[in-house]
């Protein structure tokens, strides 16, 4: 039976609960334990799939097709444990499940209430798969005191009471602000946050305090006294140069030991941190630097491309170089020549996205990379833009475009080289979709197999002709233009098993130009960089040496 660690936050949001949870999971793994991490989000969206990236950052997709919070990306990157649909839940999903049961008559005519019906649904979610691992880490989104989070806090309070004594602990993450004028580190916000938590029946066992510097002994003792925790369970979470320092930094502070002490696991197995020491070495002892331009439409919020930024970092680590990723708004290239903007970069990446805004600029970035021999990686929409650019400027289909853009304005303007995907094979079943279907959860989502062309660049990079990657899209490159494009030198080097859906394209006579319909960044990890990103950065390193 798993032991449960509930991670809550206080004072302000965005303190790094997800990162702290992921780092703790990695540290427990380093001691030989098995872990699974979960996220409980209080917002009323059923999942983040229909949210703008500006609202909540990127949407992280699991192998089984769930659209989840970006924190699940941190969990996977730090632990290597593939997230599942059962690892992410929102208030919207909880209430939806409860109302479906009420409509079916499952509650036998009872009055449906937050307690016990909603809290029971949350507890059932938390308990899923509890016999599979040694530790289950459950992060509660938002901060204590948020009105929408109350059912979750009540549910974890009840859950801890339902379990045998010592099977659940609470870890609370707060902020220790530094007042520059007085030169003081203030503990009062943390005291109030813990007071709020205790007022709803939850007493933290471990206190993780975000601060700009170390916590002096006096403040640590004060926190321990007023928050009713042991002094060695007050953990400083200082600002770091890289998130991949977190496991080693938290270990130095004693987080994993404090957690094991709270569970009375004594003596605890010694940790093997060699993997994280190697990761740290590769980050801080890089032997060069490459510049990569990311030409996208959500560049004002880097969390919109979180997994891409991390996968580039991993690709740099594989090559022992530092990747300096710079974000360029694709719309600039609709007004200006991309040449002066892109001249100094060693590689260009065009990520996914939705809608027509910025797409002409993305095509110009693809054209620049194609004609100048600059390494190019196009992901999802980035692949589609590379195909449309090739159709227009090489295959002489001057009005080539995407049905997505026509659907957006409600009139036909383009020859649809990219069309709305209406049916595809998933496992042994045929999935069918109509244009007017609900948006949420209706894309081609999750892991699908692709067959690679023997002798192609991607087959060489993967070292295999059969791969499995995660998808998130509802528009697809039309296979009927394949011969026309291949006659011009664009190779369709990856296809779905039934041969109907293009998965990868590459230019035959280009040093490194690859477009993929899937999202390889979702499977990259610091200790196992994704092969596409590792080779993309390698190609950028070669360009940097030529300059």
Binding-site residue positions: 13-19, 71, 139, 146-148, 186-191, 222, 240, 353, 381-384, 404, 474
Annotated binding site for Mg(2+): 71, 139
Beta strands in 176-225 (DSSP E): 178-179, 184-185, 206-211
CA distance between the termini of the chain: 58
3-state SS, one letter per residue, for 233-245 = HEEEEECCCCHHH
Which of the residues are catalytic?
380, 519, 521
Beta strands in 333-464 (DSSP E): 347-350, 376-379, 400-402, 415-420, 423-426, 429-432, 444-452
Q: Which of 376, 344, 382 is nearest to 363 (CA)?
A: 382
Annotated binding site for CTP: 13, 146-148, 186-191, 222
Rounded Cα gap, residues 155 and 518, in angstroms: 37
Annotated binding site for L-glutamine: 353, 381-384, 404, 474
Look-up of token digits 């991993």: 314
3-state secondary structure of 443: coil
Rounded Cα gap, residues 59 and 90, in angstroms: 14
**H or E, element range at 368:** helix 359-372
Rounded Cα gap, residues 366 and 358, in angstroms: 13
Token code pair at residue 317: 């680590």
Rounded Cα gap, residues 456 and 453, in angstroms: 6
Annotated binding site for ATP: 14-19, 71, 240
Parallel, antiparallel or unpaired: strands 178-179 and 475-477? unpaired
Token code pair at residue 411: 């009139």
Parallel, antiparallel or unpaired: strands 88-90 and 3-9? unpaired
Annotated binding site for UTP: 13, 186-191, 222
Rounded Cα gap, residues 527 and 152, in angstroms: 34
Looking at the DSSP bridge assignments, the partners of residue 211 are 238
Q: Which of 355, 357, 501 is nearest to 421 (CA)?
A: 501
């Amino acid at each position: 039976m798993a032991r449960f660690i509930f991670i809550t936050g206080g004072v302000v949001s965005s303190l790094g609960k997800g990162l702290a949870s992921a780092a703790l999971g990695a540290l427990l793994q380093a001691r030989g334990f098995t872990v699974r991490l979960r996220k409980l989000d209080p917002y009323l969206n059923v999942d983040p799939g229909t949210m703008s990236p500006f609202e909540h950052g990127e949407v992280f997709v699991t192998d089984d097709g769930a659209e989840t919070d970006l924190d699940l990306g941190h969990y996977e990157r730090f632990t290597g444990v593939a997230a599942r649909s059962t690892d992410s839940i929102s208030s919207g999903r909880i209430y939806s499940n409860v109302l479906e049961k009420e409509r079916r008559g499952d509650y036998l005519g009872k009055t449906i209430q937050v307690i016990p019906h909603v809290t029971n649904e949350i507890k059932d979610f938390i308990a899923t798969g509890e016999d599979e691992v040694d530790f289950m880490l459950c992060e509660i989104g938002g901060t204590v005191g948020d009105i929408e989070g109350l059912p979750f806090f009540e549910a974890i309070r009840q859950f801890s009471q339902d379990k045998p004594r010592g099977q659940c602990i609470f870890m609370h993450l707060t902020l220790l602000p530094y007042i520059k004028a007085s030169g003081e580190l203030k503990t009062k916000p943390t005291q109030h946050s813990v007071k709020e938590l205790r007022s709803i029946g939850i007493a933290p066992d471990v206190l993780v305090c975000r601060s700009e510097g170390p916590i002096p002994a006096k403040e640590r003792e004060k926190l321990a006294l007023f928050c009713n925790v042991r002094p060695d369970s007050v953990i400083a979470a200082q600002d770091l140069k890289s998130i991949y320092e977190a496991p080693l930094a938290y270990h130095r502070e004693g987080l994993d030991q404090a957690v094991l002490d709270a569970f009375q696991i004594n003596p605890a197995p010694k940790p093997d941190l060699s993997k994280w020491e190697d990761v740290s070495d590769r980050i801080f002892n890089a032997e060069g630097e490459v510049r990569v331009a990311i030409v996208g439409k959500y560049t004002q919020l880097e969390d919109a491309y979180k997994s891409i930024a991390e996968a580039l970092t991993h690709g740099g680590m594989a090559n022992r170089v530092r990747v300096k990723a710079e974000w360029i708004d694709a719309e600039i290239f609709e007004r200006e020549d991309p040449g002066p903007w892109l001249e100094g970069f060693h590689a260009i990446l065009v990520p996914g996205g939705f809608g027509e805004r910025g797409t002409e600029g993305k095509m110009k970035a693809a054209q620049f990379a194609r004609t100048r021999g600059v390494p190019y990686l196009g992901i999802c929409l980035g692949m589609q833009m590379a195909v449309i650019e090739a159709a227009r400027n090489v295959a002489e289909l001057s009005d080539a475009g995407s049905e997505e853009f026509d659907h957006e304005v409600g009139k036909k303007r383009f020859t649809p080289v990219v069309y709305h995907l209406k049916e595809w094979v998933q496992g042994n079943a045929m999935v069918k979709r109509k244009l007017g279907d609900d948006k949420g959860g209706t894309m081609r989502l999750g892991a699908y197999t692709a067959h690679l062309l023997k002798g192609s660049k991607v087959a060489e990079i993967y070292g295999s002709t059969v791969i499995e990657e995660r998808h998130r899209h509802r528009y697809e490159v039309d296979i009927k233009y394949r011969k026309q494009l291949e006659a011009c030198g664009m190779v369709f080097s990856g296809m779905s098993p039934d041969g109907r859906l293009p998965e990868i394209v590459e230019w035959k006579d280009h040093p490194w130009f690859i477009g993929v319909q899937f999202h390889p960044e979702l499977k990259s990890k610091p200790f196992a960089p994704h092969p596409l990103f590792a080779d993309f950065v390698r190609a950028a390193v070669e360009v940097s040496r030529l300059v």
